[in-house]
Structure 1
Amino acid sequence: MSGAEAAVLRQMILDCAVSHEMPLDAIYVDELDTAPAQLTECIAAVVAADESILIVPSLLHFAGLGNPVEVRADFERHGVTILIAQQ
């Protein structure tokens, strides 16, 4: 992914947070060589937050973890609200 593409995704996430009137604590960017560690860090931060909300660019973001719809359902069963930034 190019820097310009990453910037577009970051802006989509920021816009989603603004439209839902919520603060954005962090943006986690997966790097191929550190993706599992970054995902673990992200999940730990979301679970520890007062409001467990995770904004992803699209459900396809979960494809590396399995069926994206099932992954979303797993997060939601554990009390994490998933917001999709892509319009």
Structure 2
Amino acid sequence: MSENELASARKLVVEAAHSRGTHLVAIHVEEIETAPEAFHDLLAVVMQEAERMIITPGIQHLGVAGDPSSVRQRLESNGITIVVSG
């Protein structure tokens, strides 16, 4: 992603959290060189929260852990709400 695309994605995530009245704990950005490190860090944070929610700018962002649809299904089956903001 370019810097402009990253800024736009962050804005979408922040706006989605705000519109749902959800406290945004962190934004994790995956780096190609270290993937899927940020995804694992994200899951560690989410599992500590009472409201388990991941807001993503697009379902394809879950692809770092496999097929995005399958990843979404696995996360939701573990009680994590997935919100696609874009």
Question: Normalization by structure 2: what TM-score?
Answer: 0.93
Identity of aligned residues (%): 34
Partner of 2:37: 37
Partner of 1:47: 47
What pairs up with 1:7-86 in 2 under 5 angstroms? Answer: 7-86=7-86
**Greater CA drift, 26-35 or 6-15:** 26-35
Segments of 4+ moved more than 6 angstroms = none
TM-fit CA distance, 1:70: 1.4
**Partner SS for 1:82:** strand
**Corresponding letter in the other structure for 2:11:** Q
Cα distance in 2 for residues equivalent to 1:37 and 1:8? 22
| Code of the aligned partner of 1:21 | G
Worse-superposed segment, 46-55 or 31-40: 31-40
* RMSD over aligned Cα atoms: 1.0
Cα deviation for residue 68 of structure 1 reads 1.4
**Residue identity matched to 2:81:** T
In structure 1, runs of 5+ residues without a counterpart are: none
1:78 and 1:22 map into 2 onto residues whose CA distance is: 19
Alpha-carbon spacing, 1:16–1:29, altered in 2? closer, same or farther (3 Å): same
| Post-superposition CA distance 1:42-68 (Å, at most 9, x none) | 111111111100001111112232221
Aligned residues: 86
Unaligned runs of 5+ in 2: none
Residue type of the partner of 1:67?
A: D
What residue identity is the alignment partner of 2:71? V
